[in-house]
Homo-oligomer: A and B are copies of this chain.
Amino acid sequence: MAGLDYARERRMSRSTTVQATVMQAPAIDQFEVLNDVLITVEDGVITAIAPAASFAGTVDHVVEPGSVLMPGLIDLHIHAPQWPQVGTGYDLPLEEWLFAYTFPLEAKYSDLSFAIDVWDSMVPRLLANGTTTAVYYGSVHGPATTALAEACVRHGQRAFVGRVAMDHPDGTPEWYRDATTEAGLEASAESIESINGLGSPLVAPIVTPRFIPACTDEMLTGLGQLAADTGTLVQTHCSESDWEHGYVLDRFGATDAEALDRFGLLQTSTVLAHAGHLTTNDLHRLAHRHSGVAHCPLSNVYFGNAVFAARRALDAGVNVGLGTDIAGGPSPSLFANAAQAVNASRLLEDGVDANIEAAQRGVAGSRIDALAGFWLATMGGAAVLNQPIGLLEVGRRFDAIEVTTERIGVWAEVDSPVRIFEKIVRMANEADISRVWVDGDVKRR
């Protein structure tokens, strides 16, 4: 299948041992604690997990009591060039925000040195936030996008990196689009070759039509073909807002998901960002295609016009993970997005307008809990991408974070392991993440 190529291992054997208490979520409703285990990692893969007490060799790193080890966090949707404006510009709806703030910023990435400055700020910051895997939108520029992939290799972050294809004269400005459909398709093909050419097992290309309003039919057809021809994953936006959902209905007489499917863009592990306005038929279509959703709950507050019904999508068999949607979302933290995924689900369940009778106010059965929020940020994302990450178990890659509870606070009077876990999910931020590993290597300490 498409994706990261683990055959391209570094030549030198790399091994490490880590002693820790692990907290993680093998399933959306399953909390797992591995008390004081010794994890053995060979060439990035977990080869053994055993009680630490039974181990006689050298331990490379001990996660001290008071800290816990967790799987690394997976960001399924992040617009790298929007990094400088994260946290700002939430006064406009999507279709205006793009032209007023975002396209002008993205257009600056024709300047490769500016791009590299941003990438060298952003990638380490995301790693420090525990994001061990990121699925990136680059910009329309091939060189800046390849430089992003190079930055991921340099800083050691697992990543899918996509050059953004956008050629529709109505949905894009003259000063920020592919010159022609053909030029755009060629640039996307070159970007795939260029990123594959880096020869890193951590980084892979991804075919990236910005979204239907920004792409001509010819571009969408060509990109579907490109993905099929090259075995490359696909990402795009889908039914993000009333406007976007309505635009596609008007243009094709079909929903966004149905239209993408016609263009061959709904494949196994296609990442669809947002998807807040999917119909029941759309959900069945996604489940059938094994395409997944990047749920971006903080972004949706500002641009979604509704809450993505995560529980409903999961119940329909759709794979769902989390995305920060920087800069549509105002936080680089997947913990913050996991917490907001819970918040959003509760607000959907209860409703928001006190002037409506309680029984009619919300959508019963919508809630997810903090465990589910963490699962979305780890195993949920791993399932969408179909990658052996998201859980610390034998056979998966060792992407992990060490989280200290010193500031978060643990009280023997009330805290059980699951309560400590909940505190971490709801309150941990960059300052509480004391160490980060990707593919067995320490990336931040």
B-binding residues in A (CB < 8 A) = 83-91, 101, 105, 108, 114, 118, 121, 125, 242, 276-277, 298, 301-302, 304-307, 309, 330-331, 339-340, 342-344, 346-348, 350-355, 358, 361-363, 369-370, 407-409, 411, 413-415, 419, 422-423, 426-427, 429-431
**Minimum C-beta distance from A292 to chain B (A):** 19
A352 in contact with B306 (CB, 8 Å): yes
A350 in contact with B426 (CB, 8 Å): no
B351 in contact with A352 (CB, 8 Å): yes
Complex contacts, A105 vs chain B, CB 8 Å: 413-414
B358 in contact with A353 (CB, 8 Å): no
Question: How far, in angstroms, from A284 to B408 measured CA to CA in the complex?
Answer: 40
Question: How far, in angstroms, from A361 to B108 measured CA to CA in the complex?
Answer: 38
Of B242, B307, B354, B427, the contact of A353 (CB 8 Å cutoff)? B307
**Minimum C-beta distance from A436 to chain B (A):** 15
A354 in contact with B88 (CB, 8 Å): no
Most buried by B among A89, A342, A347, A419: A347
**Minimum C-beta distance from A356 to chain B (A):** 8
Question: How far, in angstroms, from A301 to B350 measured CA to CA in the complex?
Answer: 9
Question: How far, in angstroms, from A426 to B330 measured CA to CA in the complex?
Answer: 7
A90 in contact with B415 given A353-B362, A407-B430 (CB within 8 Å): no
A339 in contact with B347 given A87-B423, A352-B362 (CB within 8 Å): no
A84 in contact with B409 (CB, 8 Å): yes
Complex contacts, A415 vs chain B, CB 8 Å: 84, 88
A91 in contact with B369 given A305-B361, A427-B331 (CB within 8 Å): yes
A353 in contact with B346 given A84-B413, A87-B422, A423-B87 (CB within 8 Å): no
Of B86, B87, B277, the contact of A354 (CB 8 Å cutoff)? B277
**Minimum C-beta distance from A12 to chain B (A):** 34
A301 in contact with B362 (CB, 8 Å): no
B307 in contact with A352 (CB, 8 Å): yes
A85 in contact with B353 given A301-B346, A427-B331, A431-B430 (CB within 8 Å): no
Of B90, B340, B413, the contact of A108 (CB 8 Å cutoff)? B413
Further contacts, 4 of them, CB under 8 A, given A306-B353, A330-B427, A429-B429: A84-B411, A85-B414, A87-B426, A306-B361
Complex contacts, A358 vs chain B, CB 8 Å: 242, 305
**Minimum C-beta distance from A202 to chain B (A):** 24
**Minimum C-beta distance from A168 to chain B (A):** 24
Complex contacts, A355 vs chain B, CB 8 Å: 363
Most buried by B among A105, A339, A362: A339
**Minimum C-beta distance from A238 to chain B (A):** 13
Question: How far, in angstroms, from A351 to B277 measured CA to CA in the complex?
Answer: 13
**Minimum C-beta distance from A25 to chain B (A):** 16
Most buried by B among A87, A89, A101, A408: A87
CB-nearest residue of chain B to A91: B369
**Minimum C-beta distance from A405 to chain B (A):** 11
CB-nearest residue of chain B to A329: B426
Most buried by B among A88, A277, A307, A369: A88
Query: What are 6 sample pairs from A and B whose C-beta atoms fall under 8 A apart?
Result: A83-B409, A86-B423, A87-B423, A125-B409, A344-B347, A431-B431
